[in-house]
Structure 1
């Protein structure tokens, strides 16, 4: 999938902007690690055709920083233990782009960006559709 390949249904990255790494208070930063990661992801996501939204908490505090990659009718994934860096944002958006290009949301492990390997926390199966209820 290239940067110009159109995406039918959007893939979303939900970013926990409240996430704080364990050493956040000692670093004396005013911006949370999650907010910093959200800024970096948003700069990259729109040009890649990926939608973003911020939430105050994804309840994954022990695994901060957390994001969720999901799309309508596709398997979604929770990822965590990111440091809130530019490199993290780059890897997350690259993975989201691959998710967008997959009919099911599944991306072969061999294709994952190195920066997301070891960060998967859980997957969420797509909700059943009305068509599924008929079978």
Structure 2
């Protein structure tokens, strides 16, 4: 099963100063970190988490899905998001033990969604 990282490309943090949005900057960094892996990335214009920009969603068929936010669009955040997505991909249910979470991901979880029913 493929794990998808969906990145909001319209996110702008309160200190945004113009040019590329913070979401576009984070998306480019995540895409570079995920390159060559089994993870898939996609950009989406507005995950509706504006008060917690920058936002991403992690999803895979039949697994728990997560929305994460309040990231700084930098390499450390991108690496942590991709590292967590790899752990999500390796998990049968999508749940990853807290002790395995990359440190920079802690405190960024916004929501958790149950898998959709198959019928």
Q: Does 1:37 align with 2:46?
A: no
Which runs of 4 or more aligned residues in structure 1 lie more than 6 Å from their structure 2 counterparts after TM superposition?
Answer: none
Partner of 1:81: 70
Q: 2 CA distance for matches of 1:109 and 1:47?
A: 26
1:73: Cα distance to partner? 0.4
Partner of 2:42: 53
- TM-score under structure 2 length normalisation: 0.97
1:48: Cα distance to partner? 2.3
1:45: Cα distance to partner? 1.1
Bigger-Rg structure (1/2): 1
Q: 1 CA distance for matches of 2:83 and 2:52?
A: 21
Q: Does 1:70 align with 2:59?
A: yes
CA RMSD, aligned part only?
0.7
Q: Gapped runs of 5+ residues in structure 2?
A: none
- TM-score under structure 1 length normalisation: 0.86
Offset from partner CA, 1:31-52 (integer Å, 9 cap, x none): 0000000000001113221101
1:16: Cα distance to partner? 0.1
How many residues get paired? 119
Q: Does 1:22 align with 2:14?
A: yes
